[in-house]
Every structure is written in structure tokens, then in C-alpha cells.
């Protein structure tokens, strides 16, 4: 290596000419500084690489390139918050270039990321990502929600449901129809269990809310119990309650739901027959914004699950006219995040 040429310049040249052996040698060298900046706009190593590669049409070896970039991030000295002359971090540059989104979880896992930094235009990384249409990065940046997950929840085959009608009109006959449907959704042995999902749903649509409260507080109540069509408890309650012409007490509904969610065994990522999580189900109904927000704020809630129709929660929100609401939740979670060491 030539001593008169900065390592950052040597590295950029090696990558551009496909000399990956030299590039790996540089980034693994004891002399390598992952925070070194270039002379032109004082961009640190990773920012410079992202910007340079995003403007080149040259075909690069993706596998080798990824190994090089991951080596930089793995360096114990790496600081993702180094600013260039425009006050921008590497995440801000990635926000404009979605091809590098794959690198973001590695950067976030360093535990050193400050997502509150704003550039000279007073824009933070989430704003830049939104303006660039990089919705994937918006989701990745949600603290803790994209970390510690190994694989997707197991998908289950089930019976497809008819799309639910979200407009509510009240009828004395509607609840009786729902109760009839509930009767067909459970086997006889389940019905004999006083703390079963069947009895919860049956009492709820009969208006016997005091018994509902007793059931969800019963130690034997399973907040993840499914009916014969593999619909988890809270998903079932949502689907039935939001069907057309159903009558129920809104405040009691909220109280029952809160108790279910507070149960330490409640699984926010339990899938229904269409491979929707309960959060995805709630997001489909404008009247349940309060519930969607409650579920969204559970630390373990998954945002990367894809249902049988190939839709993520963001796509569900947009399709149901809840796109702005979802963006509000993302923004709120982002602004209150504490991911700085």
C-alpha cells in the first residue's frame, strides 16, 4: 500500500476496479480507520462508498462488496454518526439509495446509532427516507422491532375469509347472526370450558360484558386460543365485532382488549388463517386506530410479516386508507426511540 495515498482513496479505487482482495486487505488492516474522511466533502468511509457506488453504472460483485462493507461496520471503532460537510450520516445517504438497505440492520446492531441527527436542511434520516420513497428503511429503523428475530412466524394453511365491512350500522338481529357463526367455529369440548374463547365471544355478543371480564382475567384463559379456522382470540374478536350491523359497547370492548393484551402470554405475532398478525388485522379497520397503535407499540410486534396475499402491514394500511395513520405511528415511534448508547 502506498503511504502517500489515503487508505480511503485506495479502498474506493480497489472496489471500483474489482480488486476485492486489496479491498479486504485494507479494511482488515490495523491501520484502517473506519471513520477516516475524504478531502473533498469530508465524508467518512462508508458514506463515501455508498455515494460513489450509487453513481456508477459498473456491475459490481455483490457478494464481495457486501463482505467489505460488513467488515467496515464490524470494526469496533466504526462510528455511524460521523457527519460530512452537509451534516449527513451514512444512514441519510442510504435513505436516498435503497440498494443499500440490507446494510442498515448491521449498522443498527452496533448500538451506536443516533437517529435524531438532522442535516443542514434540518431533516433527519426518516424524513429523507420518506421523501425518497424508501419505505423499507422507515420500517427497518423502528427500534428493536427489526432486531432479534430469526425467521418469519410459521405460516398456517387455513380457510380464506370474506373481506370485512368496516361501516357500522346497528341491528337487533345482527348479533344473533354472529352468535350462530360462533357456534359453528368451535367444537363441543371447547364450549364446555368456561374460560374458552368460545364463551368469551358468545358472552360478548350477548352483551354479557361482566362475564367477559371474568373470562379474560381467568388464569386458565388462553389469549392465543384459536377457533377451528385457526383464528387467534383477539383476531376473532376484531373480525366478528367489525362485521356489518354488529352492536357492542365500545368502552367495554376496549377494556376487554386491554386485559387480553396485558396477559403475559399474549402473542402479538400470532397468525390467522390468512397469515395476518393481529396488528395487521387491526390496521385494516379505521375505527380501530387506538388498537392498532396499542399493538404497534408492543416491542416484539413484527412489521416484516407478509400475509398470503403478499402484503405487509404497510401495504394493508395503504390499501385500507390508513397510510397516513401508519406513517404517523412510524414517525411517533422513531421520534421517541432511544437507540443511542
pLDDT at 193: 92
What value does the mean pLDDT take over residues 61-88? 92
Please say whether the beta carbons of 89 and 83 come within 8 A.
yes
- Nearest CA among 50, 107, 52, 120 for reference residue 81: 107
Cell of 240: 366478528
Ranges of each domain in the chain: 7-140, 174-335
pLDDT at 149: 39
What value does the mean pLDDT take over residues 302-316? 84
Q: Would you mind telling me the total number of residues written for the chain in this entry? A: 341
Helix (H, G, I), strand (E, B) or coil at 83: coil
CB contact burial 292-323 (16+ within 10 A = b; e otherwise): bbbbbeeeebbbebebbeebbbbbbbbeeebe
Q: Is the pLDDT of residue 301 over 90?
A: no
- Nearest CA among 133, 129, 76 for reference residue 104: 129
3-state helix, strand, coil in the chain (%, to 5): 50, 0, 50
pLDDT at 68: 94
Helices (H) and strands (E) in the chain, counts: 18, 0
103 by Cβ neighbours in 10 Å (0-12 / 13-18 / 19+) ranks as buried
Share of the chain above pLDDT 70, in %: 85
pLDDT at 335: 57
Q: Band of the pLDDT at 340, cuts 50, 70, 90?
A: very low
Nearest-5° Cα angle at 162, 151 to 248: 100
Q: Is the pLDDT of residue 336 over 80?
A: no
List pLDDT tens digits, range 115-140: 888 999 999 898 898 888 888 788 77
Q: Band of the pLDDT at 83, cuts 50, 70, 90?
A: very high
What value does the mean pLDDT take over residues 255-281? 93
Provide the mean pLDDT of the chain.
83
List pLDDT tens digits, range 9-30: 999 999 988 899 999 999 999 9
Sign for the CA dihedral angle at 290, 291, 297, 303 comes to: negative
Torsion-angle region of 143 (φ positive above 0: left; ψ -120 to 50: alpha; else: beta): beta
What is the Cα 69 distance to its own chain's centre? 24
pLDDT at 238: 94
| Cβ neighbour number for residue 286 with a 10 Å cutoff | 14
239 by Cβ neighbours in 10 Å (0-12 / 13-18 / 19+) ranks as middle
What value does the mean pLDDT take over residues 283-306? 88
List pLDDT tens digits, range 159-203: 334 333 333 333 434 677 888 888 888 888 888 899 999 999 999
pLDDT at 264: 93
- The secondary structure of residue 185, as a DSSP letter, is T
> Which residues, at least 6 apart from 146, have a Cβ–Cβ distance to it below 8 Å?
105, 108, 139, 140, 303, 304
Q: Is the pLDDT of residue 31 over 50?
A: yes
List pLDDT tens digits, range 39-70: 888 999 999 999 999 887 666 778 899 899 99
Q: Which one of 3.30.70.270, 1.10.1510.10, 1.25.40.20, 1.10.3720.10 gives the CATH number of domain 174-335?
A: 1.25.40.20
What value does the mean pLDDT take over residues 247-270? 94
* Residue found by looking up cell 396477559 in the block: 263
pLDDT at 334: 60
Q: Band of the pLDDT at 299, cuts 50, 70, 90?
A: confident
Q: Is the pLDDT of residue 143 over 90?
A: no
Where does 7-140 sit in CATH, by number? 1.25.40.20
pLDDT at 47: 95
CA end-to-end span of the chain: 35
Does the pTM exceed 0.75?
no
Q: Band of the pLDDT at 330, cuts 50, 70, 90?
A: confident
pLDDT at 141: 74
Which whole-number Å values give the CA distances from 306 to 84, 128, 272, in the listed order? 37, 25, 12
Same fold, 7-140 and 174-335: yes
Amino acid at each position: 500500500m502506498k503511504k502517500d495515498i489515503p487508505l480511503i482513496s485506495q479502498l474506493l479505487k480497489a472496489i471500483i476496479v474489482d480488486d476485492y482482495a486489496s479491498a479486504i486487505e485494507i479494511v482488515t488492516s490495523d491501520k484502517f480507520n473506519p471513520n477516516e474522511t475524504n478531502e473533498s466533502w469530508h465524508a467518512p468511509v462508508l458514506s463515501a462508498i455508498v455515494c460513489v457506488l450509487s453513481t456508477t453504472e459498473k456491475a459490481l460483485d455483490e457478494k464481495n462488496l457486501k463482505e467489505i462493507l460488513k467488515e467496515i461496520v464490524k470494526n469496533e471503532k466504526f462510528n455511524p454518526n460521523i457527519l460530512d460537510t452537509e451534516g449527513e450520516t451514512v444512514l441519510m445517504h442510504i435513505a436516498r439509495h435503497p440498494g443499500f438497505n440490507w446494510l442498515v440492520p448491521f449498522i443498527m446492531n452496533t448500538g451506536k446509532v443516533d437517529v435524531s441527527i438532522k442535516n443542514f436542511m434540518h431533516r433527519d434520516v426518516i424524513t429523507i427516507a420518506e421523501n425518497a420513497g424508501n419505505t423499507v428503511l422507515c420500517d427497518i429503523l423502528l427500534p428493536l422491532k427489526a432486531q432479534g428475530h430469526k425467521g418469519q412466524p410459521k405460516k398456517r394453511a387455513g380457510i380464506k375469509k370474506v373481506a370485512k365491512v368496516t361501516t357500522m350500522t346497528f341491528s337487533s338481529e345482527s348479533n344473533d347472526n354472529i352468535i350462530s357463526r360462533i357456534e359453528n367455529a368451535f367444537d363441543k369440548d371447547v364450549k364446555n370450558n368456561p374460560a374458552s374463547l368460545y364463551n368469551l365471544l358468545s358472552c360478548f355478543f350477548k352483551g354479557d360484558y361482566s362475564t367477559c371480564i371474568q373470562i379474560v382475567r381467568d388464569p386458565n384463559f388462553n389469549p392465543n386460543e384459536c377457533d377451528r379456522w385457526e383464528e387467534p382470540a383477539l383476531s376473532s374478536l376484531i373480525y366478528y365485532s367489525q362485521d356489518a350491523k354488529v352492536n357492542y359497547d365500545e368502552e367495554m370492548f376496549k377494556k376487554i382488549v386491554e386485559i387480553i393484551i396485558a396477559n403475559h402470554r399474549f402473542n402479538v405475532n400470532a397468525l390467522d388463517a390468512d397469515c395476518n398478525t393481529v396488528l395487521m388485522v387491526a390496521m385494516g379497520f379505521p375505527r380501530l386506530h387506538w388498537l392498532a397503535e396499542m399493538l404497534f407499540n408492543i416491542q416484539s410486534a413484527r412489521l416484516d410479516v407478509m400475509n398470503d396475499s403478499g402484503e405487509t402491514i404497510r401495504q394493508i394500511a395503504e390499501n385500507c386508507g390508513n397510510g397516513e395513520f401508519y406513517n404517523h405511528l412510524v414517525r411517533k415511534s422513531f421520534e421517541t426511540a432511544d437507540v443511542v448508547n
